[in-house]
Amino acid sequence: MKEKNTRFRLLDALYIAMMIVPLLACMVLKVLTTPQGEGITISGAQIYLTIPMPVMDLTITASQITSWAVMIAILGLCLYLTHGLTVKPESKRQLVAEWAVEKVNGLVSENMGQRFMAFAPFIASIMLLSAFSSLTSLLGLFPPTSDMNVVAGWAILVFVLITHYKLKGGVWPYVKGFFEPVPVFAPFNIIGEIATPVSMSFRHYGNVLSGVVISTLVAYALRSLSKMIFGFLGNFTILQIGLPAVLSIYFDIFSGLMQAFIFAMLTMLYIATGFPEEEYERRKAAKAAKAAAN
């Protein structure tokens, strides 16, 4: 029993380390590689490494490193919450895990229906990855959600899923849908289809990036104002106390969590509404009848 408890605690320590160590490593890497500079600097993700490739060089940036750190941290969190599950909950972590699963299942059931309940883990992954990526700005890291390449990758993945389920009703009904209600609308319908991943990525990216830019500008303005009003005491940036923290609560926490929820909601609605249920059931019944006849 004692040996079992020791093993249990060691695994707990490992899972907690998975949550903390990758993010700490990102913070140390940023401190060691970011050059000192004067004044305000707003730029994209820092490039750590460039690997020569035949067609296009592969760049390893801060957003990619942070994304992997966030994914490892989320994996550690999930393993920690589900470690030592019992039929009857005996720990607070199991209660938290069951509550989270129930909420996600309820969200998917309400917005997508019972047919799409298998999407619950995917939707939970999207929300967690987006939310935690935005919250990394609180640690002084470059949030991956303010990198268009990262968010566009998520949007393209969702777009592939949307198209996959639209094709469940057949290729011809999918193509015919572009010419409805009249053929002259075909170009606009095609543009609208392509606009889905573009709008999803730009909405998420723009909201997170705007928060980073506004917070940086306000912090720099308050630092300059402190020096102008208080002279040499301005080096203590007196005016930076309070307001940046309030802005951080909104832009880094509230806005980041809200954008994660919106991205997940759009994913569910686009997939569920794009699925041609009647056509799919008709094709399914026709295939079953054909198989029975043979």
71-126 pLDDT, tens digit per residue, is 999 999 999 999 988 888 888 899 999 999 999 999 999 999 888 999 999 999 99
Establish if 111 belongs to a structural domain.
no
Q: What total of structural domains would you count in the chain?
A: 2
Residue 193 sits in the same domain as residue 289:
yes
Q: How far is CA 220 from CA 33, 144, 235, 238, 240, in A?
A: 22, 23, 12, 12, 9
Give yes or no for residue 254 having a pLDDT over 50: yes
- pTM (2 d.p.): 0.83
Query: What is the rounded CA–CA span in Å between residue 165 and residue 197?
Result: 15
Q: How far apart are CA 245 and CA 144, in angstroms?
A: 21
**Cα–Cα dist 263/127, whole Å:** 8
Domain housing 2: 1-27+57-84
Domain annotation covers residue 118: no
DSSP per-residue codes, 214-250: HHHHHHHHHHHHHHHHHGGGGGG-GGGSSHHHHHHII
The mean pLDDT of 44-66, rounded to a whole number, is 86
Total residue count of the chain as it appears in this document: 294
* 76 and 167 share one domain: no
Structure tokens at 68: 């992997």
Element (H, E) at 200: helix 186-230
Answer yes or no: is 170 within a domain. Answer: yes
Do 180 and 79 share a structural domain?
A: no
205-227 pLDDT per residue, tens:
887 777 777 777 776 777 667 66
pLDDT band at 238 (very low <50, low <70, confident <90, very high): low
Judge whether 155 lies within some domain.
Answer: yes
pLDDT reported for residue 204: 84
Q: Which helix (H) or strand (E) holds 5?
A: helix 2-33
Name the one residue in this structure whose structure tokens are 């309070």.
242
* Average pLDDT of the segment spanning 19-32: 91
Residue 185 lies in a domain: yes
pLDDT at 244 over 70: no
Specify the pLDDT at position 1: 44
Q: For residue 108, is it within any domain?
A: no
Q: What is the tens place of the pLDDT at every residue in 146-168?
A: 888 899 999 999 999 999 998 88
